[in-house]
Amino acid sequence: MAEINLAETLQLVADTIVESLGFDVAVINLLDDDRQAMVVAAVTGPEELRATLLHRRQGLKGWAQLLAASEPWGRLRFLDHAKSTVDPADILSWIPDLPISDDPNAWHPEDSLFAPLEAPDGRQLGMLSVDVPRDGLRPDASTRHALEALAVTASLAIQHATLAAESRRVSARFRAVFDASPIPVGLLGADRCVVSLNDAFCRFLARPREDVVGHNPLEFTHPDDVGSGLAILHAMRSDCSDAADAAPVEKRYLLPDGSVVWARLHLAALRSPDEPDMLISQLEDITDRKRAEARLLQQAHFDTLTGLPNRANSMRRLRAALEADIEAGTLTAVFFCDVDRLKLVNDAHGHAVGDAYLQEIARRIQATVRSDDTVGRLGGDEFVVVLPAVGSPTEALGLAGRVIDAVRQPLRLGGEGFSPSVSLGIAYAAGASSTPDEMLAQADTAMYRAKTEDRGSWRVHDTAVKNSAVSQLQLRSDVAAALELEQFVLHYQPIVRLSDRKVMGYEALLRWQHPTRGLLAPAAFLDVILDSEYETPVTDWVLRQACRDAARRPRDQRRVNVNVSSIQVGRRDLPDLVLACLRDSGLEAGDLVLELTEDRLLSRPDGAELLDRLRSLGVSIAIDDFGTGYAGLQYLQRFPHINIIKLDRSFIAGLWQDEVSEHIVRGVVDIAHSCGLTMVVEGVETAEQAEFVRQLGADAAQGYYFGRPEPYAELHE
């Protein structure tokens, strides 16, 4: 609130009385702070009177006597010398020198007129007195009213000044508390910028006041904690109740020198009806506690020598990586690294050098792996690397090679030269079943093999590679290269007519000449290819290659069976593909047999139409693995285009074990013949089987007894 100058205002009131109401003297007294006396605060009148009266104190007792002797004139009090029993000279500090008149209305030198100055509640504030009316008469009613009004004005001015002084005192007191508080306290405006702050706050932020006032505290907040700073502000805003102080948050502040301090931030709203809300921000400095916690955490989870995660911490990260694998379908790899010949270094140069040696190796490993990988120290000379979400085993192998190379760089310590190396074992997670301990044990075993076979190299844990999701992943990434590098080959297995044991034709069977795993049968990789983007290129290649190979054989041995994959069957352009392969190779349609499985055909509503179109090209259709599907014999009626049935080899295997197989084989042969189909029996491995199925009436047979699948070249030696 804007303050008035009380002394000036009271003087103005006194001047007005003298100038406008026809008195020569006006005096305003104020109740003293000790409330024991009145003190003259303003005087208008002759100069010498002013000089004697101003600041004079007069005890309240005298005033009480005076008032008691006076008669009320409205709100004024008049001391009539004639009626008063007190001797005014005892009380009044001056008696004017006036002529004495006989007029009953005349003003007598010992008369006095007062206006008590009071607060609305009646509290005494001061006293206004006038004297020496210029007309020598007692004032009339209008003069008295004007006097009353001026007394009210003076009272208001006094109250105003008292309140202002009080509020000044109160805020000075609070200011002192605020300033002297050892707790950083700041006041934020509606725009969330600092309006004021105490010394403790400046000290906490290590900034001069002017660098903070007018700025949003988020500017000094650690970037990672801006979110929690915003969150608490938001919590404050969304909760409108007056008592709402959001729960404190712990956050970091950045000092100008880049160091970090921690505080627990308490925010409280300072609501006011006619001003935008402010926020009181109080900080508890928890930096020491946080540092102590961090130290404890560091000791509990990190290795003191290298600062790397310790064993427990590394295993925890491995577990987390394995869990992420299950969710994201990624692959985790683990390296077990064992420093070669650390003992020699320790023995020859002392432990201090040994420690530095380990630290440098740790640093080299850390610098080589990806940022998401964890390098941990298991203890002694053992390190572990957890590699979450490796793209493929190949990528992990590449990293392992780089770790080994990085460690192997020459090293100088204390004037001595060293050639450090690590032996490294690799294990991959084998799907959901892998536990961190198992994986580490596998990597350890592989490391041991590396160490014994070729110190300073790496080895992969075997079984993990052979039968795990790993090999699938690796294969998938290898397929693209396989097509380009022509690693796919076809092997051919003869199909033999049982009546004269002559080769009727060959079945083309896909093989993968894998660079590191050798020749792979379809069981090892077909799952990976089928249902992938490589299915079409690979299976198309099979058809084309089989036709080409067949066309190069003597005319009576050209017949070739090709397995048709599910996707190929699903393709509407299969007949076009077949036609193209025939045309390009020069093979006649009559020499090509397409092997389809029951389910593949059945799953297509337009299966019959497809077979129609294939048959119209002149190729033959064989049903592969007959009897393993659920369709059975009625199937043959639905698809009259079929020429050949290949009875699944499980029936042959069962022939001597149960009679059912024998009945089925006999039944299928009969039906096949009655439908005019050629009956081929698969999986004939012995002479007895060959003879038995011949007696059952089968037309032809295929199996190891007659010949294993072989490369084209060996077929025609």
The residue (of 140 and 527) whose beta carbon lies closer to ligand C2E is 527
Q: Which amino acid would we find at residue 391?
A: G
Chain residues binding ligand C2E by CB under 6 A are 493, 508-510, 521-523, 526, 539, 542, 563, 565, 595, 624-625, 649, 683-685, 702-704, 709
Q: Which residues pair with 100 in a beta bridge?
A: none
> Judged by CB under 5 A, does residue 599 bind Ca ion?
no
Nearer to Ca ion, 360 or 507 (CB): 507
| Number of residues forming the site for Ca ion (CB under 5 A) | 5
Task: Work out how close the CB of 314 gets to Ca ion at its nearest, in angstroms, rounded to a whole number.
Answer: 49
CA 433 from chain center: how many Å? 28
Q: Which entry of ligand C2E, Ca ion, none binds 526, CB below 5 to 8 A by partner kind?
A: ligand C2E
**What is the footprint of Ca ion within residues 600-629 (CB under 5 A)?**
624-625
Output phi, psi for 111, to 5 deg.
-75, 155
- Whether 218 contacts 229, CB under 8 Å: yes
The burial of 254, by beta-carbon neighbours within 10 Å (0-12 exposed, 13-18 middle, 19 or more buried), is given as middle
Nearer to ligand C2E, 308 or 482 (CB): 482
The Cβ of residue 613 has, within 10 Å, a number of other Cβ atoms equal to 15
Residue 704, CA atoms < 13 Å, CB-side half-sphere: 5
Long-range contacts for 318-323 (Cβ within 8 Å, ≥24 apart)? 318/374, 318/384, 318/386, 318/436, 318/439, 318/440, 319/436, 320/388, 321/386, 321/387, 321/388, 321/389, 321/429, 322/429, 322/434, 322/435, 322/436, 322/439
116 interface partner picked from Ca ion, ligand C2E, none, CB below 5 to 8 A per type: none
Shortest distance, CB of residue 338 to Ca ion, whole angstroms?
Answer: 49
- Check binding of 131 to Ca ion (CB under 5 A): no
Q: Would you count residue 535 as binding Ca ion (CB under 5 A)?
A: no
**How near is the Cβ of 535 to Ca ion at its closest, in Å?**
17
Nearer to Ca ion among residue 117 and residue 578 (C-beta): 578
Among residues 595, 482, 607, 596, the alpha carbon closest in space to that of 532 is found at 482
Q: Of 600 and 694, which has the nearer Cβ to Ca ion?
A: 600
Name the one range near Ca ion by CB under 5 A: 127-135, 189-197, 529-537, 591-599: 591-599
Cα separations (Å) of 315 from 149, 348, 388, 422, 436?
90, 33, 12, 21, 6
Q: Which of the choices Ca ion, ligand C2E, none does residue 281 contact, using the CB cut-off of 5 to 8 A by kind?
A: none
Q: How far is the CB of 665 from ligand C2E (least distance, A)?
A: 16
Q: How far is the CB of 301 from ligand C2E (least distance, A)?
A: 51
Q: Which is nearer to Ca ion, 575 or 629 (CB)?
A: 629
Contact flag: residue 284 with Ca ion (CB under 5 A): no
Q: Where are the beta strands (DSSP E) in 564-648?
A: 592-597, 620-626, 644-647
* 70 or 565: CB nearest ligand C2E: 565
Considering only residues 84, 368, 563, 689, which one is a binding residue for Ca ion as defined by CB under 5 A? 563
Q: Is 598 in the site for Ca ion (CB under 5 A)?
A: no
Q: Which of 66, 67, 20 is nearest to 44 (CA)?
A: 20
Q: Does residue 250 contact residue 262 with C-beta atoms inside 8 Å?
A: yes
CA distance 520 to 404: 31
Q: How far is the CB of 656 from ligand C2E (least distance, A)?
A: 15
| Contacts of Ca ion in 671-700 (CB under 5 A) | 682
Q: Which is nearer to ligand C2E, 401 or 522 (CB)?
A: 522
Is residue 495 a contact partner of residue 680, using CB atoms and an 8 Å limit?
A: yes
Footprint of Ca ion (CB under 5 A):
563, 595, 624-625, 682
